[in-house]
Amino acid sequence: MSAATGDVASFVIIAAIVLLSISLDFIQEVRAQDAVEALRRSVAVQATVRRDGHAVSVPIDRLVPGDIVELIAGDLVPADCRLLESRDLYVNEALLTGEPYPAEKQAGDLGPGSSKTGAVEATGAANAVFAGTSVISGTATILVCRTGARTALGHLATSLAQKPPPTAFALGVRRFGMLIMRFTMFMILFVLVVNVSFQRPLLESLMFAVALAVGLTPELLPMIVTVTLARSATQMAKRRVIVKRLSAIHDLGAMDMLCTDKTGTLTEAAIRLTRSVDGHGADSEQVRKLACVNSHFESGMKSPLDEAILAACSFDMSGWRKIDEVPFDFERRRVSVLAEHDGVRLLIVKGAPEDVLRLSGRYARPDGQEATLDDATRRAFEATLDGLGAQGFRALGVASHKVDASHATATVSDEADLVFAGFPVFLDPPKASAGATIRAMAAAGVTVKVLTGDNEQVSRHVFQEIGVPVTGVLTGEALTQLSDEALIGQIRKVNLFCRVNPQQKHRVLLALKRLGHVVGFMGDGINDAPALHAADVGISVDGAADVARAAADLILLEHDLSVVNDAIASGRRTVQNVSKYVLMGSSSNFGNMFSMAGAALILPFLPMLPIQILLNNLAPPGNLWVVAGAGSLPSA
C-alpha cells in the first residue's frame, strides 16, 4: 500500500522489517526442527540387512532395491519385497487391504493366473510383503524390490495422506488465533469509522488501522512455540525421553489419564520360571519338559515368558524334531507346536491357562495315565490357578495330545480334546518405586489405569505389594458384554483391567477420550500399536517392537514409570512458558494498540505513523529478550 501511494521510503523500511521478522522466524524454526530431527533419528526404526556377508542394522530409509533383509515377529516391513525364505509367516496387511485378519505368506513362485500387474493389485501375492505392513508371527528373509514412492503404499499415498485429528495443543492455538482475529477486525473497523467521522484522509486512516492490526498480532507466537517445544524436547532427551512429535509435549503436559501395562511399569520385568506344577499343585517335570519343547521350537520373537522357560531348560533337545506350528496370536492367546520324538508326534499347546483348560477334555495323572477332566477336577485345577495368582505368581497352561504319524500340518482345529499337563509358574517381583510414583502422579492430577493380559488375582497381588488400592476391576470377558455407553458409565471407578486384548484396550482409550480426558498410553508390544495410535500421547520404550515404536510419540530410553512422571512435569513447564509469552505479548500489544486507537479519538492528528507502529512492534525490549532466550523462561 505504501508503494502504491508513492511512499518509497516507507515501502523500503516496511519491507526490511518484514524480511527481518521472517528471517528470525525461519532461522529459529530450522534450528528447532534440526534438533528434533536429530532426536527422532536416534530412535528411528532399524532393519537387519545382510551386507558384505554381515548382518547390520540400518535405518529403513537407507534401504535400496537388492538389499536382503531379515524379519521377525514385531518388525515393520520396510519396503515392497519378495520372500526368499519364510517360516510360519503371518503379516498384518490391514493398512493396504482393510482386512483385520493376518495373511499367511510363503516363499515361492506365484501360481498361473496370479495378478502381477500394478503395485496395489499385487498386495494379494502370497510370496511378497509390502511396506506399511507388520509381521505378526514367524520369520522371513526378503529381497527389497521397491522403496519409497514406488511401493504399493506410495501409490496409495494420496488417499492415505489424511490429516490426523487436531490435538489439544492445536485446538488451543486455533481458539487463541480466532480471539486475536476478532479483536483485530473490531479495531480496524473502529479506527476507520472514527477517522472517517473526523474527515481525515481515508488512505492515511486505512494505513494506520492496518498497522494497528499488525501491532496487535503476536507474530512471534509460532516461532516462540516451536523454539520452546524444541528446547523442551532437547532437555527431555537428557532425562532419557526422546520426543518424536513436538506438539506431544503440550499434550503430555495436559494429560490427566495414563493407561499402562503392568509388566515393566509396576513390576521389574525380570521374569523367571520358579516352578512347574500339575493341576493339583504338585511339582511336575513333565510340565517343564513340554513347555521347553514348545518354547524352543516357537518361531518369531520370544516373549519374556518364553525366555524364562528356555533359561530354566536343562534337558537334551537333540531327540526332538519340529514338524509344524500354529503361531501365537492375541485372539487365541496360545501357540501350538507339532513335534516328533522317537517316532511319536505330539501337538504341544502353551498359552493362557483359562483357555488351555477350556480346550482340555483329559488330564495327565502323576502315574502317567490319562483321566477324564470332569467338572470337579476342573474346579480343583482352577482353584490351584487362583491360589498361585493370589500369591503373586503368573502361570501359563500347557497341554498336549498325540497325533498320527501321517499328521504333517498343525491347525487351530487340532487344539481340541487336549490332555492337560499343568502350569509353568513365573515370578515377576513388583517394582519398589512404582507405588510412590503412582501416588505422586495422582497428587499432580494424573490418574493411572492398568490394562494387562494377566488374571485378576496376580494383578491384585501386585497392587497390594506396591501399596495402591484397587478401586474397581473389569475383565476382558466382562468388558465384551458391555456396550460403549455402559463402559463409559463404569470406567470412572475402574483402575484395573485384566485379561484384555488389543481391541479392548483400544475401546477403553476411546471411552476415556469421549469423557473429555487427555489420555496417554504406555506400551511396548505388537498388540499395543492400536492403543498407542489412538492415545493423545503414545509412549513406548527403546527396546519395544518396531510397530510400537513407530506408533508412539515419545520413546523412553529407560522403562520406568518415574521417567514418565518427570516427562509430564517437563511438559507442564513448557506449557507454562508458552502461556507466559502469550499473556505477556498479547497484553503488551493490546495495551499499546488500544492506547493509540483511543488517542486517535482525542488528538487532531494520528498519534503514530504506521512505520513507527511497525518498528515498535518488531523490537520492543520484551520481544528481543524472548527471541534471545525462548524456551528458558522461569517456571511459575
Catalytic residue numbers, as ranges: 261
The pairing of beta strand 344-351 with beta strand 397-403: antiparallel
Residue 479: count other Cβ atoms within 10 Å of its Cβ.
23
The DSSP result for 345-358, as a single string, is EEEEEEE-HHHHHH
Name every residue whose Cβ is closer than 8 Å to that of residue 486 and which is 6 or more positions away in sequence: none
Residue 465 cell numbers, joined:
505389594
Tell me which H or E stretch contains 82.
Answer: strand 80-92
Closest by Cα among 424, 402, 418, 300 to 341: 402
Using alpha carbons only, how large is the chain's radius of gyration in Å?
31
Three-class secondary structure of residue 343 per DSSP: coil
The half-sphere exposure of 529 on its side-chain side, counting CA atoms within 13 A, is: 21
Which three cell numbers mark 144? 527389497
Strand boundaries in 29-79, DSSP class E: 46-51, 54-59, 68-71
Q: Which residues of 257-284 are buried (b: 16+ CB within 10 A; e: fewer)?
A: bbbbbbbbbbbebebebebbbbbebeeb
383, three cell numbers: 482353584
Element (H, E) at 450: strand 447-451
Q: What is the DSSP letter of 472?
A: -
Are 175 and 112 in contact by the 8 Å Cβ rule? The answer is no
- Name the grid cell of 500: 484384555
Q: Which is it for strands 320-329 and 554-556: parallel, antiparallel or unpaired?
A: unpaired
